[in-house]
């Protein structure tokens, strides 16, 4: 008796969630683990947003389904926010409010991709993109750029990966897992290339407000206005407003794509939780003051973690200018005895397991992001924990 479909045999579990759950299991067993695994801010959701949700939960008018694609008021707030942050107008009818940015990613590939279509995914990439492409019967095509290139590919490398089957390119800048922010000039080149070759651009802008050193996140829809006819923007409130658990994201797409995604969602989940939509609306209509305070706190941690990593023998970490991840090159640590018991790790996955078991710190191995030889450290954790975890790692690595 076969239990699972062929579809599921193609898909790997989320490696980032796996590390996090192993770390949490150790914690539950009484081990003091420092977790750099989860991509979620440790701050509480700003209280003014929570207050709106509390009031909404007390109003019976909000106990019903909303339209599948979301409350009109929220879609208007998303359109206004897009004008404010990206500098161009979108029609609320182009917006589908989804259960987190993740559902927007999934639905995008479901409505865009057919069997045999290829999707170019610059690597290191967020772990869910290739799996979502495979779930849509498409073929992910990774284009790798390492630390030497600050994890930013060239247009020539993207062009070399293009075939007659290329249907779309994924853009995610600021990038998870590297924190890289791509230059505007490259986005302009990519936009022109995509127009010339009729390639859809899927731009995941979920980290747009988390940038440092005076760098700002580029928006391809603003830089290359013609691309908007073949552009799908993905976004959400999780990272910007410390609202990971509220599960509100969205896509902005040409009408035909947005309608198809809404049809799909109508059979999948229907609308996103009504109360959470009201909270997201409050977040988007509010000021960015709380966001800026969180960004400044992340900036302090960013500097601390990058310098701590580079201070360890055999570890090299380029300085990221966005998101809340440091992506360290640990290739020099592989194949050598490390730690008090001389554990030899042949791969970054082995190294991550050894660090968790022996030094009690959780980082996600590069294998999860199409980048073996690296480890991802989320620095969205408390300052003192961040410092203590780095101390443990240095002691272990240099034992
Ligand atoms: N896109 C990227 C690049 C991410 O890192 C994440 C979360 O880790 C998401 C999308 C999805 O975020 P959520 O579903 O929590 O809104």
Per-residue pLDDT of the chain (399 residues; tens, 9 = 90+): 888 998 888 887 777 777 778 888 898 999 999 999 888 899 999 999 999 999 999 999 999 999 999 999 999 999 999 999 999 999 999 999 999 999 999 999 999 999 999 999 999 999 999 999 999 999 999 999 999 999 999 999 999 999 999 999 999 999 999 999 999 999 999 999 999 999 999 999 999 999 999 999 999 999 999 999 999 999 999 999 999 999 999 999 999 999 999 999 999 999 999 999 999 999 999 999 999 999 999 999 999 999 999 999 999 999 999 999 999 999 999 999 999 999 999 999 999 999 999 999 999 999 999 999 999 999 999 999 999 999 999 999 999
Atom of ligand 1 nearest to the CA of 39: 8
Whether ligand 1 lies within 6 angstroms of the CB of 272 is answered as no
Between the CA of 156 and the centroid of ligand 1 the distance, in Å, is: 28
Whether ligand 1 lies within 6 angstroms of the CB of 322 is answered as no
Among 128, 151, 234, name the best residue to mutate to test ligand 1's pocket (greatest count of ligand atoms within 8 A of Cβ).
128
Q: How many CA atoms lie within 13 A of 117 on its CB side?
A: 22
Residue ranges of the chain assigned to CATH 3.40.640.10? 64-285
CATH T-level fold of 6-44+290-397: 3.90.1150
**Cβ-based neighbours of 167, under 8 Å, separated by 6 or more:** 112, 113, 117, 118, 119, 138, 199, 200
Whether ligand 1 lies within 6 angstroms of the CB of 176 is answered as yes
Whether ligand 1 lies within 6 angstroms of the CB of 14 is answered as no
Whether ligand 1 lies within 6 angstroms of the CB of 126 is answered as yes
Q: Alpha carbon of 69 to those of 153, 204, 265, 378: distances in Å?
A: 35, 19, 8, 32
Residue ranges of the chain assigned to CATH 3.90.1150.10? 6-44+290-397
Whether ligand 1 lies within 6 angstroms of the CB of 145 is answered as no
CATH of 64-285 among 3.40.640.10, 3.40.47.10, 3.30.70.580, 3.20.20.140: 3.40.640.10
Whether ligand 1 lies within 6 angstroms of the CB of 39 is answered as yes
Helix (H) or strand (E) holding 166: strand 166-171
Q: Alpha carbon of 283 to those of 239, 244, 342: distances in Å?
A: 12, 13, 50
Whether ligand 1 lies within 6 angstroms of the CB of 22 is answered as no
Between the CA of 206 and the centroid of ligand 1 the distance, in Å, is: 7
**Nearest protein CA to atom 7 of ligand 1, as residue:** 39
- Predicted ipTM beyond 0.90: yes
């Amino acid at each position: 008796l076969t239990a699972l479909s062929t579809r599921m045999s193609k898909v790997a579990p989320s490696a980032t969630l796996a590390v996090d759950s192993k770390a949490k299991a150790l914690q539950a067993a009484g081990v003091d683990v420092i977790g750099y695994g989860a991509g979620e801010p440790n701050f509480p959701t700003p209280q003014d947003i929570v207050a709106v949700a509390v009031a909404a939960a007390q109003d019976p008018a909000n106990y019903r389904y909303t339209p599948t694609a979301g409350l009109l008021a929220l879609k208007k707030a998303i359109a206004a926010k897009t004008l404010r942050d990206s500098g161009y107008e979108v029609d609320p009818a182009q917006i589908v409010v989804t259960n987190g940015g993740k559902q927007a990613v999934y639905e995008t590939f479901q409505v865009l991709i057919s069997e045999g279509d290829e999707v170019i995914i610059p690597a290191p990439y967020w772990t869910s993109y290739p799996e979502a492409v495979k779930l849509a019967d498409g073929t992910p095509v990774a284009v790798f750029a390492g630390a030497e290139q600050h994890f930013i590919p060239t247009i020539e490398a993207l062009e070399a990966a293009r075939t007659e089957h290329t249907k779309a390119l994924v853009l995610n800048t600021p990038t998870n897992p590297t924190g890289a922010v791509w230059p505007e000039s490259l986005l302009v080149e990519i936009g022109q290339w995509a127009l010339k070759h009729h390639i859809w651009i899927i731009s995941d802008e979920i980290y747009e407000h988390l940038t440092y050193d005076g760098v700002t996140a580029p928006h391809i829809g603003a830089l290359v206005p013609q691309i908007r006819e073949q552009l799908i923007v993905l976004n959400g409130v999780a990272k910007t407003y410390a609202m990971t658990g509220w599960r509100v994201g969205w896509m902005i797409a040409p009408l035909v794509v947005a309608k198809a995604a809404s049809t799909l969602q109508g059979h999948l989940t229907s609308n996103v939780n009504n109360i959470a939509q009201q909270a997201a609306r409050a977040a988007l209509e509010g000021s960015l003051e709380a966001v800026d305070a969180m960004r400044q706190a992340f900036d302090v941690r960013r500097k601390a973690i990058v310098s701590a990593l580079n201070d360890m023998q055999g570890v090299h970490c380029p300085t990221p200018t966005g998101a809340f991840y440091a992506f360290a090159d640990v290739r020099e640590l592989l194949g050598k005895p490390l730690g008090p018991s001389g554990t030899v790790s042949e791969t970054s996955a082995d190294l991550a397991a050894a660090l968790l078991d022996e030094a009690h710190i959780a980082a996600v191995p590069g294998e999860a992001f199409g980048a073996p030889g690296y480890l991802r450290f989320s620095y969205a954790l408390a300052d003192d924990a961040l410092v203590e975890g780095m101390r443990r790692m240095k002691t272990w690595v240099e034992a």
